[in-house]
């Protein structure tokens, strides 16, 4: 079945560092790809999405490109802030969304 694999955390960076969180997927069709973020004590919220190959999703300085040839959807941000500390989930879906295990990100001031 469809699945998502993302890098394990926790990832700890200093403020203003460059961020990459790797995500690869396995799917029989061509699902949409997502990154969701979960702040402490809250539910998940959509960060960005891409619906077809070569699409780039972007939001709040984060971006990810749908790469069909490498089945990847890596999340990047050029300069992280302390407020970016959260758990990030890569996901794919058509009728239902399947999530990766999540990557906890700590940003140090």
Partner 1 sequence: NAGVMQNPRHLVRRRGQEARLRCSPMKGHSHVYWYRQLPEEGLKFMVYLQKENIIDESGMPKERFSAEFPKEGPSILRIQQVVRGDSAAYFCASSPSGISNTGELFFGEGSRLTVL
Give percent helix, percent strand, percent coil of the chain, each to the nearest 5.
Answer: 5, 55, 45
User: What is the rounded distance in angstroms from the CA atom of residue 53 to the CA atom of residue 65?
Assistant: 8
Q: Which of 56, 45, 62 is nearest to 97 (CA)?
A: 45
User: What is the rounded distance in angstroms from the CA atom of residue 23 to the CA atom of residue 89?
Assistant: 9
Residues 21-80 that bind partner 1 (CB under 8 A): 32, 34, 41-46, 49, 51
Nearer to partner 1, 12 or 51 (CB): 51
User: What is the rounded distance in angstroms from the CA atom of residue 99 to the CA atom of residue 45?
Assistant: 13
Q: How far is the CB of 2 from partner 1 (least distance, A)?
A: 10
Q: How far is the CB of 102 from partner 1 (least distance, A)?
A: 5
Q: How far is the CB of 11 from partner 1 (least distance, A)?
A: 15
Nearer to partner 1, 67 or 93 (CB): 93
Q: How far is CA 11 from the centre of its chain?
A: 13
Q: Is 3 a residue that touches partner 1 (CB under 8 A)? A: no
**Number of residues engaging partner 1 in binding (CB under 8 A):** 21
Binding site for partner 1 (CB under 8 A): 32, 34, 41-46, 49, 51, 89, 93-102
């Amino acid at each position: 079945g469809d699945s998502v694999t993302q890098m394990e955390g926790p990832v700890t960076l200093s403020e203003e560092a460059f961020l990459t969180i790797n995500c690869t997927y396995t799917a029989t069709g061509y699902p949409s790809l997502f990154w969701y973020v979960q702040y402490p004590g809250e539910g998940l919220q959509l960060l960005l999405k891409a619906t077809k190959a070569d699409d780039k999703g972007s939001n709040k300085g984060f971006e990810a490109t749908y790469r069909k040839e490498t089945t990847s959807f890596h999340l990047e941000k050029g300069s992280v802030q302390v407020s970016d500390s959260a758990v990030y989930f890569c996901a794919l879906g058509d009728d239902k969304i399947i999530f990766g295990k999540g990557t906890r990100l700590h940003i140090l001031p």
